[in-house]
Amino acid sequence: MTEQPPYLAIAAGIRRRIASGELVPGDRVPSTRAIVRESGVAMATATKALAALAREGLVRAVPGVGTVVAEARPARAQDETAPLSREAVVATAVRIADAEGLAGLSMRRVAGDLGTSTMALYRHVPSKGELVRLMTDVGFREAHPGRPTGDWRDQLAHAARKLWATYRKHPWMARAMASFIRPDPMPEAMKYTEWTLRALRGTGLGVHQVMHAHLTLIAFVQGLGVAMELEGHALQDTGVSNDEWMDRNGGRFAAIVSGGGYPVLTTIFEHEPFELDLDSLFGFGLDRLLDGIAVIIAETSA
């Protein structure tokens, strides 16, 4: 009898706990780090075990939380005749990517969730690359700032915060963005760009300065958006929160600093702990970027 691969044995154990009701929808399942520690397997094996459960729809990844038991999806009726559409394909793909990232997204997975064949999807979306482009454009539709209010600074701050909130909702989106130099043609993304460019009309900035200001803001938000996705993966992989991680490593940092050669860091460590997260970095960086644009506008008007 062929021995079952370790990752399948681990997945079976978790599956039994879900089936018995020991783990219910919303409960966190063992993280990859916990599986490595408890089962004595490699990280890759632990990751494959959770991926197998995710493909079955039994678990899902929640950014900032970890891998949890998924809510049971109602079975599709055998006689369901609702026509498949591009919108349905994209919406399903967005839901999968929100839960598991782009690594968990495939045409086969989308087809499975829709209860159809993979070939049927290709009549609506020709490739995974095109699917991700359409998903990203949906994100930009959600990020549209709406009716402009206030001066140029108020408008740019509002637009940047809308995009940041969208990246928080769809952590995969920042990494999915194409090149700034060779962007993919996306109507909703172009509407977002048009909105921000209009915010800078009448400021005295030249055409090139306006475009550079817009792209610099986009690059700033996108960079932190990628960092946010990586932070979410770190939490999912380790099961350790930011506070827990700092509690575990704070002493090591302090020991290194106390050895000398870090006078500025020593000063920081001597002060009370301060709030440092991606939201605070976003707020600080956004204000400084807008300060810089304000200086250029003032110099242009002088």
Q: How do residues 266-298 score in pLDDT, each as one tens digit? A: 777 676 666 678 888 999 999 999 999 999 999
Distance CA 93, CA 96 (A): 5
For β-strands 59-62 and 66-69, DSSP reports them as: antiparallel
pLDDT score of 169 more than 50:
yes
Is residue 3 very low, low, confident or very high in pLDDT (cuts 50, 70, 90)?
Answer: low
pLDDT at 81: 44
Average model confidence (pLDDT) for the chain?
Answer: 84
Can you name the residues that pair with 28 across neighbouring β-strands?
Answer: 68
How far the first Cα of the chain sits from its last, in Å, is 84
Is residue 63 very low, low, confident or very high in pLDDT (cuts 50, 70, 90)?
Answer: low
Q: What is the pTM of this model?
A: 0.70
Lowest mean pLDDT segment, chosen from 71-80, 116-125, 253-262: 71-80
For the stretch 190-220, pLDDT in tens is: 999 999 999 999 999 999 999 999 999 999 9
- Considering only residues 231 and 13, tell me which one the structure prediction assigns the higher pLDDT: 13
What is the chain's alpha carbon radius of gyration, rounded to the nearest angstrom?
23
Distance CA 257, CA 270 (A): 11
pLDDT score of 77 more than 60:
no
For the stretch 17-31, pLDDT in tens is: 988 888 888 888 998
For the stretch 212-266, pLDDT in tens is: 999 999 999 999 998 888 777 666 666 666 677 677 777 787 788 777 888 887 7
